[in-house]
Amino acid sequence: MSGAAPTEAASAGRLAIPAQQQQFLAFDFGSKRTGVASGNRLLGLASPVTTIQAEGAEARFAAVQQLLAQWQPQALVIGVPYHPDGAAHENTARALKFGRQLRGRFGLPVYEVDERYTTTEALALGAKDADAAAACIILDQFLRSLA
């Protein structure tokens, strides 16, 4: 994968992300719950933060704005779900729209990660907050992809 264009999928190989992008917030988007994780490239580690319990866009973005003020990331990462065969589905479009809205509202680069099976993996690992744990898995995958 070439370049570091925001919204570029991170799962296909190593990315060249600008060095000043050190702190990231990641989101496992859902229509009722959105998991959030934080991590940085210096340590290459991600940690679950919280799950936003909001169904409406305005309530969700108000919560995101508070998290951005608290964590001050230089870029955002979103998980994009696909069917097992790689085909897009209804939630794929919703997650991509969420990423566009994040970029438009907050002016930060947004990177995409294929998030198939992250919630299943989080549950298998015994996560108490599966949504935040799934966001953590998404961010771990992204951090591993950095060049």
pLDDT in tens, 65-110: 999 999 999 999 999 999 999 999 889 999 999 999 999 999 999 9
Average pLDDT (9-37) is 79
The conformational region for residue 86 under phi > 0 = left, psi -120 to 50 = alpha, else beta, is left
Residues 6+ apart with CB under 8 A from 48: 35, 36, 37, 127, 129, 132, 133, 135, 136
Residues 6+ apart with CB under 8 A from 123: 130
Residue 8 binned pLDDT confidence (cut-offs 50, 70, 90): very low
pTM of the model: 0.86
